[in-house]
Structure 1
Amino acid sequence: MIDNTSLAVVAPEILLLVMACVIALVDLGVKSRLRNLTYGLTLASLAAVAFLTGSEAATGETAYGFGRMVVSDSMGNWLKCFSTIAMMVCLVYGRPYAGDRDMLRGGELFTLAMLSLLGIFVMIGGHNFLVIYLGLELLTLCSYALVALRRDHTQATEAAMKYFVLGAMASGFLLYGLSMIYGATGSLDIATVFKVIAGGQVKHTVLVFGLVFIVAGLAFKLGAAPFHMWIPDVYQGAPTAVTIMLGTAPELAAFAIAIRLLVEGMLPLAIDWQQMLVVLAVSSLFVGNLAAIAQTNLKRMLAYSTIGQMGFVMLGLLSGVVNGDPVFARNAYSSAMFYIVTYVLTTLASFGVILLLAREGFESEEIADLAGLNQRSPLYAGVMAVTLFSLAGIPPLVGFYAKLAVLQALVVSGSPFYIGLAVFAVVMSLVAAFYYIRVVKVMYFDAPITATTVAAPAEVRVVLTINGALILLLGILPGGLMTLCAQAIVRMLSS
């Protein structure tokens, strides 16, 4: 029998599922090219879900349901709220692009977006290995369909096939690792797994063997090197309206399951998984930033940039436990959470500008396509410049404070090795600044290739302007979001 507490814990998921089904049915009667009714109903549903998760997050309470298989806590609810807002922004930016490319013939884009968000919610709220895995599969299956949504486009179909094959392999890694941990501990419940491992009665070799596969699966979902091979091809090949969905909200879900599995479930094994994260972080920073320099395609450059940015998230995650003492856990994990949230905010704006510049029959994906953008539209060139400077970590933008928070978490540990990692990260950030500033140079100093003016619907202009302003505002006043992340992590660690 399902009690009322369990239903309250999954209320946002229920609302999301019901509205996804309603929207799929309502869309059958919609005839307009841009699916105005479906679009409006989707945004209204997502706004209600965002309000519900935000309200639950603000209370700071932790509740469990369905025999402790699902958890509703402050960290999870904030990540759900941010994921929902990110998906709303993706749909606002992506609808004109999708309409021009005949991707709105049915309401699949909106329904699949809502179902992929449902998968993200299940991943974030899962407190059981099977629940987390089911959420992951729901998200990835919707993502495969979204990438292949432009059926007559060869590049999109090829990207979907690559994503499907590599995604299936990564899911297999994660599932095999989880099965190893289950075999060793005898439980699928994260809290029980923590207690059994902390008790020290399980063979360490078996646990580490399972841990290797779990970390490999998580690295694929986050897009960390050397499990990054899918990101450049999928980002470039997928329709840009789908690329922005793949590069934003799912990153928050991947961060959430990394926290659930590694911190809540296997913190006693921190010395083992931290060593693996060191390799992933260094590889991601090195491969991502060096490979991005050689790119001429803007989406592909941002894909390699993502790999490098995930290196910083890994640095935050690996600096919470020093010499077996989790004294710096709050500081480290909150800095990683702050980094991933601000990265998503910045990525939304960068792909928003690419979507804005694309028009029917023209993708605007090459760096050269941005030539002279400042002369054609100073506002959009300004938003893109703010976004790129933030990704490069230039003050006073939010990307600078996010990098500073992660570096501070490394340095405050006092470990010479961690301080060395911080120095390496700074050097790689200097390398990254080259390819970000190169794009700004093209926008402001190169002669425009076309005299075409940039036109966009009013809601796209408004949301993009707010998005760019937030990147600047949160850089000047980061305290509120940083405190929110810190409180969420503290409540998660104490529950």
Structure 2
Amino acid sequence: MDFNWLVISPIIIILGTGVLQVLFEAFVPARARRLTQLVSSLLAVVAALVMTALIDIWGLVDAPTFVAGSDMLGDHVGIFASMALLLIAFLAIMVIADRTSQLDGAFAGQPADRPGSSDESLTNRLNYQRTEFYPLVLFSLGGMLVFVQAASLLTMFVALEVMSLPLYILAASARRQRLISQEAAIKYFILGAFSSAFFLMGTAFLYGALGNINLALIPANRLPEFLGQYGLNVLLLWFVGALLVTVGLLFKVAAAPFHAWTPDVYQGAPTPITGFMAAGVKIAAFVALLRVLATTAVALFPYMQTMIWVIAVLTIVVGTVMGLRQNDIKRMLAYSSIAHAGFLLIAVVGKGTVVTGNVGALLFYLLTYGIATIGAFGIITLVRNRDGEGNITGEATDMSKWAGLGKTNPWLAASMSVLLLSFAGIPLTAGFMAKFWVFASAASQGGTLLVVIAVLASAATAVFYFRLIRTMYFLAPSEKIAVVTSEGLSSFAITVSVLLTVLLGLFPTVVMNLIS
């Protein structure tokens, strides 16, 4: 097999650095540990991003470089998705690592401490902070990078677990409201296990029907010959396998009715991890979903198209209606994420096949959504509650407490407004162009009715985005919140997110040409 190791060098860099960071945690002195972990994480992500750019943009390696039957691909879709993941990870690590003027981060000093125990009080008093979340983030990122380039269902399953298991741990490690955080992690773990079980069972059915689990070798173009040799029972196994694998991936993209974990996990997890998870997992899962649907013979099962479209409409409706009812900003963004998943699903399949000619629009949408998500959750980390004695406590996620933020902190309010406008798809933002291209691709594939539903839902989702904007600018300032100063890492990530959101809205064809 002509296996080119250079193509997977970004994955090796990320996972290799994660292994080194485990050793750093054991042997680097405590005073230098945080800086060592942060610098090594950022350097690894930058090195992997540069290598990916060399591979794809400058033609260092002609992709795809692996022969049919390989467990990994080096195709353009996977490499661009890797670039998007690395960019988002760089910004997410900035938010994850940031600490406020009170020297507190988003993570518990000792996640193993029982909430409310004397051990936790001692940890907080000594200002002790574990740094294992850096290698956990890199391991999860490494799983995402493998996930978007996997050609074998077995490799895809291993990547799914490598991506998910660190997130289960990270979701349980919030500094405040630890019990809610741990409850969210348990829910995420249990429903994630169901997702993995569906995926693995579907893989077993496909192997039983076809004799292989490599997506490139599924004989969709030889169906008559295949059925003549093996019969209709094999076709039934084939369909059930494809259905189960698809359901497993729909869990990960938070499509209804497989979305139940999303609001609780988004609310309970540490906010920087929520942003990383919301952006990264959605990119990885959608690219994997495209590969599975494109290569498990969607054209052979026309009702698969109907199923995806029904799920898309249900996802849009659930995300929109439930989002309108939310007063908690993190839960509102969770239902916003569900609605965005529905918008993407309407363009995934059409006319009985995967819309391979419009994958560029989907990738652009995922990139812009991921950038705006990191920025929005980064802003949430800086807006804190203030108790009756004036002490600054945890994050102020209640929408009413953001009253007057536009007057007390114009920069932060303006940044949040730009990102919310992009979520809503308002012109001159990246979100507008992303929705335009995705909706246009769906309409060109016979989904005009779905596009009409999506446009109406998009207008409805703008209501809960504008509620927050109205609260920030048109209500009297609240004395119940305070904007904390930090080391500047979150501010940097927020600024970059806002700039990219505006630039991609003004000059979208630059990135679309790169994708093409």
* TM score, norm. by length of structure 2: 0.87
Partner residue, 2:105: 99
Pair 1:388-2:423 in alignment:
no
1:43-82 mapped onto 2 (5 Å cutoff) = 43-58=42-57, 59=59, 61-64=63-66, 68-82=70-84
Question: Would you say 1:428 and 2:460 are equivalent positions?
Answer: no
Distance 1:480 1:268 in 2: 33
Name the counterpart of 1:221: 252
1:175-220: CA deviation from partner (whole Å, max 9, x where unpaired): 1112111111111111111446645624333222222212211110
Quick one: which amino acid aligns to residue 421 of structure 1? L
SS of alignment partner, residue 262 of structure 1: helix
Residues 183, 353 of structure 1: alpha-carbon distance in 2 compared, 3 angstrom cutoff: same
Counterpart residue type for residue 460 of structure 1:
S
Range with bigger deviation, 399-408 or 198-207 = 198-207
Shift of 1:113: 0.2
CA offset at residue 110 of structure 1? 0.2
Q: Does 1:83 align with 2:85?
A: yes
Q: CA deviation at 1:315?
A: 1.0
CA shift in 2, pair 1:105/1:199, >3 Å: farther
Max radius of gyration: which structure? 2
TM-score, normalised by the number of residues in structure 1: 0.91
Residue type of the partner of 1:122?
V
| RMSD value, Cα | 2.2
Match of 1:491 in 2: none
Q: Which AA in structure 2 matches 1:239?
A: P
Bigger Cα displacement from structure 2, 308-317 vs 142-151: 142-151
Deviates more, 1:263-272 or 1:467-476: 263-272
Pair 1:179 & 2:204 matched = yes
- Residues 343-352 or 31-40, more deviating: 31-40
| Correspondent of 1:330 among 357, 364, 385 | 357
Amino acid of the structure 2 residue aligned with 1:116: S
Counterpart of 2:376? 350
Partner of 1:233: 264
Q: Is the 8 A contact 1:33 1:99 kept in 2?
A: no
* 2:434 corresponding residue in structure 1: 402
- Corresponding residue for residue 490 of structure 1: none
The separation in 1 between residues aligned to 2:365 and 2:296, in whole angstroms, is 22
The separation in 1 between residues aligned to 2:421 and 2:174, in whole angstroms, is 32
Three-state SS of the structure 1 residue aligned to 2:348 is helix
| Distance of aligned partners of 1:67 and 1:215 in 2 relative to their CA distance in 1, 3 Å threshold | closer
1:205 equivalent in structure 2: 236
SS at match of 1:247: helix
Partner AA of 2:74 in structure 1: S
- Tell me if the contact between 2:105 and 2:175 (Cα under 8 Å) persists in the aligned partners: no
Gaps of 5+ in 1: 488-495
- The offset of 1:268, in angstroms, is 3.5
Task: Tell me whether 455-464 or 230-239 shows the greater mean CA deviation.
Answer: 455-464
Which ranges in structure 2 are unaligned for 5 or more consecutive residues? Answer: 110-127, 386-391
The offset of 1:265, in angstroms, is 4.0
Matched with 1:493 is none
Residue from 341, 351, 372 that aligns with 1:310: 341
Equivalences for residues 73-472 of structure 1 within 5 A: 73-96=75-98, 99=105, 101-103=107-109, 105-150=129-174, 153-195=178-220, 198=223, 201-202=226-227, 203=232, 204-269=235-300, 271-319=302-350, 322=351, 324=352, 329-331=356-358, 333-358=359-384, 361-413=393-445, 415=446, 418-450=447-479, 452-472=482-502
Residues 146 and 199 of structure 1, relative CA distance in 2, 3 Å threshold: farther
How far residue 400 of structure 1 moved from its aligned partner, in angstroms, is 0.9
Deviation at 1:436, TM superposition (A): 0.6
In the alignment, is the contact (CA less than 8 A) between 2:97 and 2:489 conserved in 1? no
Between the aligned partners of 2:486 and 2:225, the Cα distance in structure 1 is 60
8 A contact 2:171–2:181 mirrored in 1: yes
Change in CA separation of 1:277 and 1:33 when aligned onto 2, cut-off 3 Å: farther
Normalized per residue, the structure richer in helix is 1
**Structure-1 residue corresponding to 2:18:** 20
CA distance in 2, matches of 1:210, 1:398: 37
| 1:248 Cα deviation after fit | 1.0
Distance 1:156 1:131, change over 3 A: same
Rate the CA distance shift 1:357–1:272 in 2: closer, same or farther, 3 A: same
Query: What amino acid sits opposite 2:16 in the alignment?
Result: V
Distance 1:443 1:280 in 2: 35
Q: Report the AA paired with residue 365 of structure 1.
A: T
Matched residue count: 476
State the percentage of identical aligned residues: 30
